[in-house]
Structure 1
Amino acid sequence: MLKKLLLLSVVSFAALTKANAQSVSPDKDDDDDSTTTIAPDTTRKLKELQPIEVRAVRATQDAPFAKTDIKKADIAKQNLGQDLPMLLQFTPSAVTTSDAGAGVGYTGIRIRGTDPTRINVTFNGMPVNDPEEQGTYFVDIPDIASSTSSIQIQRGVGTSTNGAGAFGGTISISNLQQMDTAGIMYSSSFGSFNTFKNTFVAGTGMLKGGFQFDVRLSKISSDGYIQRSASDLKSMQFTAGWTPNAKTSFHFLFMPGTEKTGQAWNGVPQDSLKTNRTYNELGPRSDGSFYNNQTDNYLQNYYQLFADHQFSSSLTAHAGLFLTRGKGYYEEYKAGEYYADYGRPAMLRDTMQTDLIRRLWLDNYYYGGVFSLQYVKNKTQLALGGGWSQFDNLAYGTVIWAANGGFSDNYKWYQTDAQKNDLNIYAKAQHTIGKLTLFGDMQYRNVAYFMNGFRKNPDLRRSVNYDFYNPKAGISYLIKNEYSVRMRAYASGAIGNREPGRSAFEADAQHLPKPERLYDGEAGYEVSGQKYSAAANLYYMNYKDQLILTGQINDVGAYTPTNVAESYRAGIELMAGYDVTNWLRLHGNLTLSRNKISKFTEYVDNYDSTAQSAVQHSNTDIAFSPNVVGAITASFSPIHNNKHNLGIDITGKYVGKQYLDNSSNEYRRIDDYNYFNVLIRYSVKTRFCKEITASLALNNIFGNLYVNNGYTFSYIYGGTSTTQNYYYPQAGFNVLGGLTFKF
């Protein structure tokens, strides 16, 4: 299959860290919905209009929420093939990771310590998160950055949006923008670990009759840093637009993607980090070798259809339909499996066990629609919107080979299905009185979820229905003076609710999980002038019934998340930028925070007993929540004219100590780490080519051997307590270089 493009640019920290706790969105004064840069300097405007399909779900420029806006040029700046989360690694309060260690394949992002299952992701206002576990798997949409014209990251509850997971962070991606004029772009890059990508982009520009077509093709491959973690990713995006008149437009998007990645999910045992930090334990065979097709294989196709109409200068309407089709499996070699675990009689053969190869399948359809009405006049903005979706998922497992036989061809040993319906409607209002802007937002969301069995508990049936009310309100105060200095203060309060993920329901009826609730307070101040920008944002995120892993095995034999009554995140986010000269800019961000659980009970497997051992904890750190996260960049532009441009960015990232679980046990931690990257980018305009750009990314230039993710488990055996930690090491010094031609 064709696949998605690749301009997966690691958003130039030069733009990213300038990111203000607010920046960017529609400008309420001139109704052009243009956006500022992602820095606190909100006087600079993007040339392109913010697409209609994302206006309703994004926060406006003066909305009282913490946000970062990233424009297309910043996304493309470091686009050399890494996945989208890696392009956002220098944004405020963000921590990223890569299973394969090189930024290609399975990657993830946390915002303020919030994990991906609580971060809402949308494409053009359409929901993307997996409805069941609520995470977003960017590996299934390789090179989405090549299709992206802008991104808004909201930290905290943020404004109302579509889909699940808006519980501490949102990422709104717009990838529907088309070329203004006919053109072609070809990009190729190559680097460490045989990382290789090719991208082809072509567009017709506006044709007679108001038609417009764009296509992008890309292929990305990498051996990965970790053993047997290779990735083979393909993607395509086809976009068709029709604008029959100045007030009406239609768009269709088809975006298929396929991925095949070597499994590196288990990480590296702690005792192997010093001796063999690229070790991969997955796929061992009985003869001591490793299975060479221990892989994850998935196809995901996105279909989106949009209609927009402007009824008047003040009133616009937007409607969209979507279908996401997903199907795939992960294949694994399992040694010494019991026939009985696969529904086969133990005496079917002379032995009770066998080596086998199995595939665990997912086969799903996710479809629905969204709408919004937006009214903007004078000092008032109103929006009414919402959406409905249904997710149908079939999960099953097949055995495709067994050393000792006993299975028919593609023997299926389990099959379960699930359906989830999601309905939401919201209303937003923003009104300006003098220098004061008032904001209000109310969302109602209904979730109906039906689960017919789990792999290890196929007879377990669960049916739940939730009604959530998510209010938000805030105020902003704006001052502009005659010296082009812009100052703004704001404060807001918001409530977010979230249903548990699928795994939490693998429990007996008396111990089903409760939904989570988050009370979020934000307050900030920003100031910007012609040569400087600065911002500070205070936040307090108070959780009720947050779900965490405690190690407890429930009555159906599963490890599931457990509600804890009280926990919180509190911190301050600082951002600043300064133009030292016309060729040097310094900018950075720093987050200082406390992330605590009041009390909870940890459960440890005790093989000397019939029951787990319980350990009481109080005032401990929330797992994967460092108290310090910061980044800084020096951006040099020694050559900058109409024909030649040379830019050099030197960027550093620091992440403080964090814990692998919620116990604050010093033995179960990730040490603080830092790394520095250098990006060199030179472009020239020629007669035969609109622009030729050469890029060179020198990543982790000091070769720091750090880890940024992991997990831990403990057990008691023979009277001795043992803790085992697994980590995800990241690559040392590595290089990516590329060429881009625009015609």
Structure 2
Amino acid sequence: MKLINKSMLTAIITLSTASIYYAQQTQDTVKTRSKDIEEVILRGVTDIAKDRKTPVAVSTIKAAQILERQGNQELVELLNTTPSVYATKGGGGFGDSQISIRGFESKNIAVMVNGMPVNDMEGGTVYMSNWTGLSDVTSTMQVQRGLGSSKLAIASVGGTLNFLTRSADMKQGGVVRLGIGNNDYLKTSFAYNTGKSQNGWSSSFLLARQAGGTYIENTDYESYTYFFALGYQPSEKHNLQFMITSSPQWHDQRSYAPTIANFIKFNPDHDGTPYRQYNSDFGYRTDENGRRVAIANAMNYYAKPVMMLNWDWTISNKSKLSTVAYMSNGRGGGARNLGAVGGKGMSSFYDNEGHYNYDAIFAANAAVNPTSNIAGNTLVRTSSVNSHNWYGILMNFQHKINDNWNFSVGTDDRYYYGYHYQVLSDLYGAKGYTDAANKNLPTGNILRNVYDYKKLTWNPFGGSNAPMEDRASFSNDGEVLWYSGFGQVEYSNDKLSAFLQGSVSNQGYQRIDDFIKPGSTQQGQTIDRKTGFKNLFGYNIKGGANYNIDDNSNVFANIGYYSKQPLMNAVYPSNQQVVNPNLTNEKIFSAELGYGFKTANFNAKVNLYRTEWKDRFYRRGGIANIDGNGNNGYSEISGITQLHQGVEVEATYVLNKYVEFNGMFSWGDYQYKGNATGANFLDDNTPVAINGNNTSILYLDKVKVGGSSNNSIPQTTASLGTTITPVKDLKVYGTWQYTGKIYSTLNVADFLKPGNTALQLPDFNLFNVGASYKIRLRNQNQYFTIGANVYNLFDTTYIQDGATNIKSTDAPAKLADGSNNTAKKTYEELGYMYKGIADANRVYFGFGRTWSTTLSFNF
């Protein structure tokens, strides 16, 4: 059955182009005045786009919509009703969501909190599990697609996602909330704002706890959130705001995407359908009372407190200086497995339910003598620490020359130190683990100490280091220095607003490897524990203009060029101490054209974009059986060029005070341009030969862009929704979402010959519904709110992400009964298919029907 036909598509486009830019935007008066120039783009150090002023594609979601519709979803999933955004739950663990904008993943999306960049300074990634508390404290969530309006030299290749948190000087009052949902979801929170006193003091705080499990098997979690803000305004010239927030959490995960065949094989109902909850990353052990106890194989734990001090100084009626000093000291990591016992890794111990047989693992480990000095002679669980200390300062000086001209200059400076090493978190019954990775310790170093991943320090000022003799497999640090300056000139009158921005930056990387023995060599070079800093210069320049044709119509355009420094794993590839001899900056050129139409109840925006990204380097880790001998590893690809272009429509129509409609449609064409070079390595950095060589040409020209790590990229999305207010204080909403042209993760080995294509996954439709009702007390400032949401209302079975690229015309090595496929029959010939794709593909199915309900009291 087709999920969307030509008539449906025509209806979507007709409705979208005829109507509406979503009403979450600030309701500006249609006519603008030159005195609004300071609001065009500048607001302290936070760059917030303004409708009919800032020439970028933007969507905004307010706190009310977050509170009404998020429930037990991931926060970024609320953006799935905005064009060119695809947010999924990733592996399905708490906070493991993934997001792409215009086909670019999170490491190439600038994520900011109150204008402060939060992308990891080594790898660019943003782990949303570190920011789960944002849903409680966010007052506005704004996504700017494309290069965006930020003046900073940030990684906004696909877009900018900015979370604006509550401030200390909010109106006096408080709220208590209780939420429950599927799989024992329970959330409680309490928040209070004092309001501003006559002496200029104000404060706000929030405490919250969330716990339970997700739709996936054995994904228990526990998370806390604290937020405190203190404001002081001694005079009209000075305003100071201090904020600290964090969400310490631990959660069990599903980090490995099972095959479709295994989703079906291990369905307890044995009805030939996928068991979407299936998780192969845990198993059972029988305790002393004969009970089966679940043991997780993959989990994550982290606490990332952020402290910010904002100072706004109004120097004169024309000049203002905004300064933010911040620190973020993260503590935590993730747990996985290491080693083998009797030559067998974890995959050799699956039971007939598709889970690990820990009774067999414990028995095998107990029989091993660790003094045999055989490296990795037991099978253990590790805790991979990924902690950091991060300090920064942002300064922005703004000056209004006259009613039309305005300029700003500033600086963005950061220092980052990351700690990366492994310790043991469970011996699985072994007496120890023999490790030979640390060349500074005697060969056959036996590790016996175990660190509980739920009890590692979350103290942001405390140490993050275990003794060197307790570390296994690797121990390396990353040090990053970042200095940048930026400038911007703006012009604005009643009809026209325009800007020109530029920035320069120097990013210095240093790699520190504690396992390096003095006098060691790599790639024929003598190396030290510290590499010394490799400094890389980058810059960007961009400009744009918006013209209000009349009270209803406006057009805008922007253009920009980035020379972006590569990430640390491109500077020191293969996890070695030698600088990449072919190191080069990534080059991004982007252009966009848009049109807006706005009336009192009818808004619409249409925009066209084109982004070309050259000299991209990317590393894909966690690849199982990369050498064909059962060993895991990673791939490194260099010289990639990508071309992303498309059209976006976003619209809303307020029929009357009872009914409102909203919709969006986005069509993209994302493909590789030219070929690239790929290399494979084992996890211990040993090169894996590809066709007899260490590197190989990858024939990627005109191949559709897919994900980079167990995720997918769609190139068509659409949604239609309605909100009905039948009586005062009652809201009922429904949303339809369509996702199509979805391409799976790229695998290096699949493109060693010309003519291969990316794997396209089945399209899907989802429906969500919800309602909320306010019960007001005599005091109008006091009221109860009852809310309920149902996600995936019709319990649709769909694939959200793909990890492999196996075609129906490929031939499996083995048949379903375990025998060799001597006839070389294809998956299609054998009938090993699911909805048009080979069932050997590893995927993540989306959640089935889930629900949540909330009760809150405002006072």
Coarse TM-score class (shorter-chain normalised): 0.7 to 0.9
* Percent of residue pairs identical: 20
Q: Which residue of 2 aligns with 1:506?
A: 573
Seen in structure 2, the aligned counterparts of structure 1 residues 628 and 23 have a Cα distance that, compared at 3 Å, is farther
Seen in structure 2, the aligned counterparts of structure 1 residues 579 and 542 have a Cα distance that, compared at 3 Å, is same
Residue-by-residue CA offset, 1:120-179 (whole Å, 9 max, x unaligned): 111112121111111111211222122112222111112334474222211122114235
Q: 2:509 aligns with which of 443, 449, 460?
A: 449
Structure 2 CA distance for aligned equivalents of residues 283 and 291 of structure 1 = 6
Q: Which residue of 2 aligns with 1:625?
A: 713
Structure 2 CA distance for aligned equivalents of residues 693 and 421 of structure 1 = 48
Q: Which residue of 2 aligns with 1:733?
A: 849
Is the contact between residue 86 and residue 713 of structure 2 (CA under 8 Å) also seen in structure 1?
Answer: no
Residue-by-residue CA offset, 1:176-222 (whole Å, 9 max, x unaligned): 42354321101111111211111110111112411111100111123
Q: 1:677 aligns with which of 748, 760, 768?
A: 768
Q: 2:203 aligns with which of 184, 201, 213?
A: 213
Structure 2 CA distance for aligned equivalents of residues 185 and 380 of structure 1 = 43
Seen in structure 2, the aligned counterparts of structure 1 residues 256 and 23 have a Cα distance that, compared at 3 Å, is closer
Q: Which residue of 2 aligns with 1:130?
A: 120
Residue-by-residue CA offset, 1:272-296 (whole Å, 9 max, x unaligned): 2334322222245899986247421
Is the contact between residue 149 and residue 175 of structure 1 (CA under 8 Å) also seen in structure 2?
Answer: yes
User: Is 1:407 aligned to 2:459, yes or no?
Assistant: no
Question: What letter corresponds to residue 656 of structure 1 in structure 2?
Answer: G
Is the contact between residue 283 and residue 333 of structure 1 (CA under 8 Å) also seen in structure 2?
Answer: no
1:429 deviates by 1.6
Structure 2 CA distance for aligned equivalents of residues 467 and 190 of structure 1 = 50
1:334 deviates by 4.3
Q: Which residue of 2 aligns with 1:172?
A: 162
Question: What letter corresponds to residue 192 of structure 2 in structure 1?
Answer: A
Structure 2 CA distance for aligned equivalents of residues 509 and 160 of structure 1 = 31
Residue-by-residue CA offset, 1:385-423 (whole Å, 9 max, x unaligned): 221000011111112453143424252123211111111
Q: 1:576 aligns with which of 651, 656, 665?
A: 651
Q: 1:98 aligns with which of 80, 89, 92?
A: 89
Is the contact between residue 242 and residue 309 of structure 2 (CA under 8 Å) also seen in structure 1?
Answer: yes
Q: 2:804 aligns with which of 712, 718, 721?
A: 712
Q: Which residue of 1 aligns with 2:317?
A: 313
Seen in structure 2, the aligned counterparts of structure 1 residues 393 and 234 have a Cα distance that, compared at 3 Å, is same
Structure 1 CA distance for aligned equivalents of residues 318 and 376 of structure 2 = 73
Q: How do 1:285-300 residues align onto structure 2 when only pairs under 5 Å count?
A: 291-292=295-296, 294-300=298-304
Residue-by-residue CA offset, 1:578-607 (whole Å, 9 max, x unaligned): 222331121111111111112325869899
Q: How do 1:603-614 residues align onto structure 2 when only pairs under 5 Å count?
A: 610-611=692-693
For structure 2, which runs of at least 5 residues remain unmatched after alignment? 1-15, 268-274, 287-291, 346-367, 433-445, 451-469, 517-521, 681-687, 707-711, 814-819, 828-837
1:631 deviates by 1.2
Structure 1 CA distance for aligned equivalents of residues 741 and 162 of structure 2 = 29
User: Is 1:397 aligned to 2:422, yes or no?
Assistant: yes
Q: Which residue of 1 aligns with 2:609?
A: 539
1:729 deviates by 1.8
SS in 2 for 1:415: strand
Q: CA RMSD in A?
A: 3.7
1:674 deviates by 1.5
Q: Which residue of 1 aligns with 2:641?
A: 566
1:83 deviates by 3.0
User: Is 1:599 aligned to 2:674, yes or no?
Assistant: yes
Q: 1:301 aligns with which of 288, 302, 305?
A: 305
For structure 1, which runs of at least 5 residues remain unmatched after alignment? 1-12, 36-49
Seen in structure 2, the aligned counterparts of structure 1 residues 75 and 193 have a Cα distance that, compared at 3 Å, is same
Q: How do 1:430-509 residues align onto structure 2 when only pairs under 5 Å count?
A: 430-432=490-492, 435-453=495-513, 463-480=533-550, 485-504=551-570, 505-507=572-574, 509=579
Is the contact between residue 641 and residue 674 of structure 2 (CA under 8 Å) also seen in structure 1?
Answer: yes
Q: Which residue of 2 aligns with 1:235?
A: 225
Residue-by-residue CA offset, 1:399-455 (whole Å, 9 max, x unaligned): 245314342425212321111111121111221356333321111121111112499
Q: Which residue of 2 aligns with 1:46?
A: none
SS in 2 for 1:31: helix
Structure 2 CA distance for aligned equivalents of residues 728 and 17 of structure 1 = 34
SS in 1 for 2:724: strand
Q: 2:60 aligns with which of 62, 69, 80?
A: 69
SS in 2 for 1:99: coil
Is the contact between residue 492 and residue 522 of structure 1 (CA under 8 Å) also seen in structure 2?
Answer: yes
1:227 deviates by 1.3
Structure 2 CA distance for aligned equivalents of residues 444 and 99 of structure 1 = 35
Structure 2 CA distance for aligned equivalents of residues 385 and 203 of structure 1 = 32
Is the contact between residue 629 and residue 654 of structure 1 (CA under 8 Å) also seen in structure 2?
Answer: yes
Structure 2 CA distance for aligned equivalents of residues 638 and 509 of structure 1 = 65
Is the contact between residue 20 and residue 598 of structure 2 (CA under 8 Å) also seen in structure 1?
Answer: no
1:610 deviates by 4.5
Is the contact between residue 685 and residue 692 of structure 1 (CA under 8 Å) also seen in structure 2?
Answer: yes
Structure 2 CA distance for aligned equivalents of residues 83 and 32 of structure 1 = 36
> With structure 1 as the length reference, what TM-score do the two structures score?
0.86
Q: Which residue of 1 aligns with 2:742?
A: 658
1:671 deviates by 1.7
Q: Which residue of 1 aligns with 2:258?
A: 268
Structure 2 CA distance for aligned equivalents of residues 523 and 395 of structure 1 = 44
- Larger radius of gyration, structure 1 or 2? 2
Question: What letter corresponds to residue 412 of structure 1 in structure 2?
Answer: R
Structure 2 CA distance for aligned equivalents of residues 496 and 245 of structure 1 = 41
Structure 2 CA distance for aligned equivalents of residues 637 and 626 of structure 1 = 33
Seen in structure 2, the aligned counterparts of structure 1 residues 604 and 704 have a Cα distance that, compared at 3 Å, is farther
> With structure 2 as the length reference, what TM-score do the two structures score?
0.75
Is the contact between residue 144 and residue 159 of structure 2 (CA under 8 Å) also seen in structure 1?
Answer: yes
Q: Which residue of 2 aligns with 1:47?
A: none
Seen in structure 2, the aligned counterparts of structure 1 residues 162 and 188 have a Cα distance that, compared at 3 Å, is farther
Is the contact between residue 745 and residue 802 of structure 2 (CA under 8 Å) also seen in structure 1?
Answer: no
Question: What letter corresponds to residue 705 of structure 2 in structure 1?
Answer: I
Pick which of 452-461 and 289-298 moved more.
Answer: 452-461
Structure 2 CA distance for aligned equivalents of residues 114 and 351 of structure 1 = 40
Pick which of 696-705 and 270-279 moved more.
Answer: 270-279
Structure 2 CA distance for aligned equivalents of residues 359 and 511 of structure 1 = 33
Structure 1 CA distance for aligned equivalents of residues 342 and 515 of structure 2 = 16
Is the contact between residue 679 and residue 695 of structure 1 (CA under 8 Å) also seen in structure 2?
Answer: yes
Structure 1 CA distance for aligned equivalents of residues 514 and 183 of structure 2 = 38
SS in 2 for 1:271: helix
Q: Which residue of 2 aligns with 1:258?
A: 248
Q: Which residue of 2 aligns with 1:381?
A: 406
Seen in structure 2, the aligned counterparts of structure 1 residues 701 and 404 have a Cα distance that, compared at 3 Å, is same
Structure 2 CA distance for aligned equivalents of residues 569 and 667 of structure 1 = 16
Is the contact between residue 494 and residue 519 of structure 1 (CA under 8 Å) also seen in structure 2?
Answer: yes
Structure 1 CA distance for aligned equivalents of residues 743 and 136 of structure 2 = 34
Q: Which residue of 2 aligns with 1:279?
A: 278
User: Is 1:330 aligned to 2:334, yes or no?
Assistant: yes
1:694 deviates by 0.8
Structure 1 CA distance for aligned equivalents of residues 562 and 51 of structure 2 = 19
Seen in structure 2, the aligned counterparts of structure 1 residues 492 and 131 have a Cα distance that, compared at 3 Å, is same
SS in 1 for 2:731: strand
SS in 2 for 1:273: helix
Is the contact between residue 116 and residue 135 of structure 1 (CA under 8 Å) also seen in structure 2?
Answer: yes
Seen in structure 2, the aligned counterparts of structure 1 residues 350 and 632 have a Cα distance that, compared at 3 Å, is closer
Is the contact between residue 57 and residue 161 of structure 1 (CA under 8 Å) also seen in structure 2?
Answer: no
Structure 1 CA distance for aligned equivalents of residues 140 and 857 of structure 2 = 22
SS in 1 for 2:64: helix
Pick which of 385-394 and 78-87 moved more.
Answer: 78-87
